[in-house]
Amino acid sequence: MDGRHNAQANAGTAHGDGPNGRRLPDFLLSVNLKYVKLGYHYLISHLLTLCFIPITAVTLLEISQMSYTDVRLLWLHLQFNLISVIIFSTVVVFGLTVYIMSRPRPIYLVDYSCFRAPHDWAASLHAFMEHSRRTGDFDESSLEFQRKILERSGVGDETCVPEAMHLVPPKPSMAAARDEAEKVMFGALDALFCNTKVKPKDIGILVVNCSLFNPTPSLSAMIVNRYKLRGHVRSFNLGGMGCSAGVIAVDLAKDLLQIHRNTYAVVVSTENITQNWYFGNKKSMLIPNCLFRVGGSAVLLSNKSVDRSRAKYKLVHVVRTHKGADDKAFRCVYQEQDGAGKTGVSLSKDLMAIAGGALKTNITTLGPLVLPISEQLLFFATLAVKKLFNKGVKTYIPDFKLAFDHFCIHAGGRAVIDELEKNLQLLPVHVEASRMTLHRFGNTSSSSIWYELAYIEAKGRMRKGHRVWQIAFGSGFKCNSAVWQALRNVKPSCNGPWEDCIDRYPVKLVL
């Protein structure tokens, strides 16, 4: 695996033992543990193949020793048992037919696009603080709190907020919120239709997710109206599901594509800033102001076999975890009014602990689906030893770098990325896309994982067969994962979000 740390290999040295004044090296010191582990993984991963080779060899040897008479006797035996042969063949053909017809249809990601806001929407740290001061809504303590959060957040000076929030005083009206939603969604969709050459009339399924802005008519209806989608399009509008709703929307589209044949599905993920800015002084509700920025994505999925040749990825797994039954988890990201009646989203101090618990549950389910059998055996072996013999034994943490080539961790904030890097034992290159997305675009909610995937593509790192893990957290509390496999060496699409700035990244962050 690229980027893995090399173990120290200490060769034995010559000493005055033996007739030649030399002795054998200390093999315990000279063995490179990295290659021992790689050898173990190779052995376990190819165990069935290694067992199959001698069986095949013995079978071929027996066949090679058969005479003409033996072959003729075998043929006569089959003729006398014709009915049995026909029944057996019928059962095999029927079983294969049922298997082929009932297995899930492959879901292809043809292409996707991310909204890139105009430069005049940019809000640098200095401009953000100056604007917050001029609104007159925040006291000095709140202003200082926001300044410290911004300096430590990993958010850069090119992140964007909508036009209405640049005004003094801000004017977060319904009309302004609709305008932001239209510019973001239509901007992403225009680029998607242009790059894929798919006509809007060909879309059979539309799924839109936006957590905090849910007007009537819905956002999905706005898209249907703008692009004149066909009358029997199956449209869905997901609201209030937090930053992990992008994976939920993909999962819903996947299920629908299993039912409806030969069609396209479009998934639009965004969040609306205009009507959800907090103008109060409660510290836990000021954090979203510092992190959330304008962003959105549009993804084209297909169940058409002809699209495999041009698709970028194939959907491998979706795993969803919901911890909403626990009261602390349910309220850790909570929209409410403060004492002055001002609405905002409050973040609990227990957020990171709850996110860690949700992640543990999610990867416990995902692990057996993606990890090589060697890692699973090591994990269960140490778990059994810990349960049965020695509780002090440290549970083995599976190496997810053996299952995935790339990681798209939701850019919710620097603390989230830091914790996953530490707990999953990732290297800096594995979280580079997440950190740089947070720096360039901020927390764009459910669409952030697509900006991260675009970063990996723009860097030229996505190769055929590579697996990518998208993982996102959201209110409720939820942790959701999507696993994709590259069908070719993936190049960035035209008008990508990193097109004009990828050469400047990665940038060095102040920690």
| Relative orientation angle of helices 414-423 and 351-370, to the nearest 10 degrees | 40
Gap between the Cα atoms of 236 and 220, Å rounded: 7
Gap between the Cα atoms of 344 and 137, Å rounded: 14
- Give φ, ψ of 376 to 5 degrees: -65, -40
Q: Give the total residue count for the chain.
A: 511
Write the DSSP string, 25-44.
Answer: --HHHHS-HHHHHHHHHHHH
Residue 116's contacts (CB-CB under 8 Å, 6 or more residues apart) are 187, 495, 497, 499
**439 an active-site residue?**
yes
- Give φ, ψ of 140 to 5 degrees: -60, -35
**166 an active-site residue?**
no
Residue 198's contacts (CB-CB under 8 Å, 6 or more residues apart) are 110, 192, 264, 300
Strands (E) across 230-383 are located at: 234-238, 264-270, 296-302, 313-322, 333-337, 343-347
Catalytic residue, candidates 41, 160, 281, 410: 410
Catalytic residue, candidates 243, 290, 332, 479: 243
- Give φ, ψ of 20 to 5 degrees: -100, 10
CB 270 within 8 A of CB 446: yes
| Relative orientation angle of helices 219-227 and 174-196, to the nearest 10 degrees | 50
Gap between the Cα atoms of 190 and 266, Å rounded: 12
* 330 residue type, one letter: F
Residue 144 per-residue DSSP state: H
If we measure between CA atoms, which residue out of 319, 324, 363, 182 comes closest to residue 242?
Answer: 324
Rounded to the nearest 10°, the torsion over CA 485, 491, 493, 499 is: 120
If we measure between CA atoms, which residue out of 401, 335, 354 comes closest to residue 4?
Answer: 401
**243 an active-site residue?**
yes
**303 an active-site residue?**
no
Q: 465 — alpha (psi -120 to 50), left (phi > 0) or beta?
A: left
What is the bridge-based pairing of β-strands 108-114 and 203-209?
Answer: unpaired
Catalytic residue, candidates 272, 322, 332, 480: 322
Catalytic residue, candidates 237, 276, 289, 443: 443
CB 185 within 8 A of CB 219: yes
Gap between the Cα atoms of 300 and 196, Å rounded: 9
Dig out the tokens for 377 from the structure: 């055996």
Catalytic residue, candidates 281, 289, 406, 479: 406
**232 an active-site residue?**
no
CB 439 within 8 A of CB 155: yes
**494 an active-site residue?**
no
CB 195 within 8 A of CB 304: no
Catalytic residue, candidates 209, 332, 439, 479: 439
Gap between the Cα atoms of 417 and 43, Å rounded: 34
Positions marked active-site: 243, 322, 406, 410, 439, 443
